[in-house]
Amino acid sequence: MRYARRLTREEVIRSGIRVAVEDGHLQIYRGSEKCQLHSTPSYYRNPKIRCYNKREVVPYLTVALYEFDENNNKIKIYRNSSSYYTYKTRITTLQRVVWAWYNGEVPDGMTVDHINNQHEFLDDYKIENLQLLSPKDNIHKDSHANYNRTLKCSMKKPRSYFEEKVNYYQNLKDNSTGMQRYEYINILSRYNANLRYWDAHQSEYEDYIKMKNEIAAQKQQKKENVQKRKLLDQKIAQYRYTDKTRWHELIELRKNLVNISLQDIENIQ
């Protein structure tokens, strides 16, 4: 795990960063303007962990802080031995900046964790949703959250599909060691999360399929009624001037098409 270096409120202020809460929403400013935030997926923070599906990785919001020398001057980086230069920066996750702003510092080796395990939106970085943990406690908390998480999956696939995947990767995990075992654990965690999502949404999906079938049946019934009326109108036009009694019977029949089939209308003589 990458070492988490100390961050103080003075470093945040020297970079021009200011944290504020306006109308109940968190705002980050650099000077008088809103600070530009970046999204950095967690697999960039630890390149040893392979990510099989990058769409499943929820990014962290990050902010760039300036690096300073012994005289508290910004460190310049010159490009191609020319007069053009930029300031040296380091990328820091937003939760560390917010914690240092309100509590003075983030100590060496400590991590700032989201209590609700959500870090996609800016309001998830409020100080009320942050806590200071050691890396060991943070890993334990994340593993417990991943064990109980649900991951959206296709409900069209039967439950047996996910059960087979779980059993397959469980056998591979039991017979592997090292990083290969860790990779199988990640895949197994994903399919277990799919399985929990499937179980939690099974009844909703069955209700949705039932409603979908009812709508399809109604559309089919309307389509058949159109065909019945079209065919029956041809029969009515045939008897209009030749047989008034038969013509009135077909008019009454046209008012209720539910009790007669298309084949019965075709057999009318």
Tens digits of residue pLDDT in 174-194: 888 887 887 888 788 888 888
The closest of 65, 63, 64 to 11, measured between CA atoms, is: 65
Q: What one-character DSSP code corresponds to residue 16? A: T
Tokens of 265: 């209308």
Q: How many residues does the chain have?
A: 269
The span from the CA of 250 to the CA of 104, in Å, is 89
Is the pLDDT reported for residue 259 higher than 80? Answer: no
The chain-wide mean pLDDT, for the chain, equals 80
**And the tokens for 83?**
């007069």
- Look at the block and give the residue holding tokens 């060691």: 177
Q: How far apart are CA 190 and CA 149, in angstroms?
A: 9
At 44, the pLDDT band (50, 70, 90 cuts) reads very low
Question: How does pLDDT run across 185-222, given as a tens digit for each residue?
Answer: 878 888 888 888 888 888 888 888 899 899 999 998 88
pTM of the predicted structure, to 2 decimals:
0.53
User: Any residues with CB less than 8 A from the CB of 43 and at least 6 apart, and which?
Assistant: 49, 50, 51, 54, 57
CA of residue 216 relative to chain centroid, distance: 30
Q: Is the model's pLDDT at 109 over the cut of 60?
A: yes
Reading phi first (left if > 0) and then psi (alpha if -120 to 50, else beta), residue 23 is in left
Contacts of 182 (CB under 8 A, 6+ apart): 49
Per cent of the chain over pLDDT 90 is 12
pLDDT tens sequence across 113-146: 888 877 878 888 999 999 998 888 877 776 666 5
The pLDDT confidence band at residue 56, using thresholds 50, 70 and 90, is very low
Question: In 3-state terms, what secondary structure has residue 90?
Answer: strand
d(CA 105, CA 96): 9
How many angstroms separate the Cα of 70 from the Cα of each of 64, 74, 197?
A: 20, 10, 54
What is the per-residue pLDDT for 168?
Answer: 92
- In this structure, are residues 19 and 97 in contact, taking their beta carbons and an 8 Å threshold? yes
CB 61 within 8 A of CB 38: yes
Ramachandran angles phi, psi of 3, nearest 5°: -70, 130
Map tokens 């996910």 to a residue: 162
